[in-house]
Amino acid sequence: MQTQKQVAAEHSDDEKYDTEREGENELPEEPEAGRPLNEIWREIQGCNDWEGLLDPMNAHLRREIIRYGEFAQACYDSFDFDPHSRYCGTCKYQGAHFFKKLHMADNGYEISRYLYATSNINLPNFFHKSSLSSVWSTHANWMGYVAVSTNEEEIKRLGRRDIMVAWRGTVTYLEWIYDLKDILCSANFSDDPTVKIELGFHDLYTKKDNDCHYCTYSAREQILSEIKRLVDRYAGEQLSITFTGHSLGAALGLLSAYDTAELKLNTTRDQKIPITVFSFAGPRVGNLKFKERCDELGVKILRITNVHDKVPTVPGIITNEKFQYLKRIEEAISFPWSYAHVGVELQLDHKASPFLLATSDLRCAHNLEAHLHLVDGYHGKGRRFKLATKRDIALVNKDSDFLNKDYNVPPFWKQDENKGMVRGSDGRWAVPHRPRIEAHPPDTAHQLKLVFDKSTTNAHGYSNGNNVSNF
């Protein structure tokens, strides 16, 4: 059985995958390619809403989108989806070995903490549980991670130290979408009750379970306490806070970015730390007031979408940002199905790639690796598709069947060697025990107290409305 590394290596011949084989000419040098990232990183992070960087596509921005997309993809590659495993629903790897196990050891980041959420919410088809009686947890799922750039060369290249949050989505397609009730609820992250988000996203982010070791703190409390700790730890340095995620993970990335900004965790004595979201195939999260509040707070969101993907069209299929009277409806009545996308959209079309099949399989249109492939070949509206970074196209078929059959890449090839089974000294095959992963750092409660003490009085002078009793 081949490993991920072996399959990718067999299909890494640049000449085979280069569209020059079709007689195409070289594209002109991409704009700003000669300027180092550390000089223009704020623009790449969206300080000017990516004006002039998307059409034509800026070379630095392309690489950053792909890089953050790979951080999001790591959530899928490390997650145990197998219902026959007692560890189903958790991460396969210890934090110290996470990037090494995924062949990402040279990315210059270190895992700071893992994130968990309780499965006792109204999005049952998103969570994965073991069919066995003896499992790691019956109430929790691993949701992603927080990482921070620690390599000095990488920090120099980036122009700052980056605090990065990656949220797990779902590789299954529409099951969790069907569970959305399209009902809005007040976010309750400030004293403005008109800022509303979808109820399922709110529950996933804020609910906790005191009977579960991994969910004694909500996903919200876990992420806020860790961002507070890291911002304090690296006080005085040039920092950025970047969120990334695919599908439902994109929704959680936007929600946690808004929450971080609302609590002013990105505001220190020395600087206002830029907050950016690289969102892949994300649904709408909140109402128009939510969008307007994100804009006021300066949260920058770049939404990477495929025109053939249906997930970014929900919730709010009818009443959304394209509806002329949306603002009037929200102001006149408490309308529970009014949604608006936030940020700038980079819209891609998988039919532009000569490497992909013409298929009606909606899962392919939603696939994250396919999105990263499309980013690699995109140069601007109406411009010819041509791979810029020569990213291995075999990755597209990692968990899909989307590549043209001419490339002889097997579909759904990503799997653990021997499906995780290991032969013991007695000659028997079994899934080895995994070391217990720490649920929460011991200073989580202390950091949360600092979070809500900081936000007790906001810039407008009124109480923020966050419940300190949550922890």
Catalytic residue numbers read 247, 309, 366
Phi, psi of 110 (to 5 degrees): -125, 145
d(CA 465, CA 58): 41
Write out the H or E segment, with its range, that includes residue 140. strand 140-149
Would you call the peptide bond into 410 cis, given omega within 30 degrees of 0 as the criterion? no
The structure tokens 């991460």 sit at: 91
The structure tokens 């892949």 sit at: 280
Choose among 160, 161, 126: nearest CA to 140: 126
Choose among 77, 41, 26: nearest CA to 388: 26
Strands (E), 160-282: 161-167, 184-186, 196-198, 239-246, 275-280
Write out the H or E segment, with its range, that includes residue 68. helix 59-77
d(CA 260, CA 145): 16
Write out the H or E segment, with its range, that includes residue 155. helix 152-158
d(CA 140, CA 219): 11
Choose among 211, 72, 116: nearest CA to 437: 116
Find all residues with CB under 8 Å of 135, minimum gap 6, and list them. 86, 87, 88, 89, 129
Tokens of 411: 């579909």
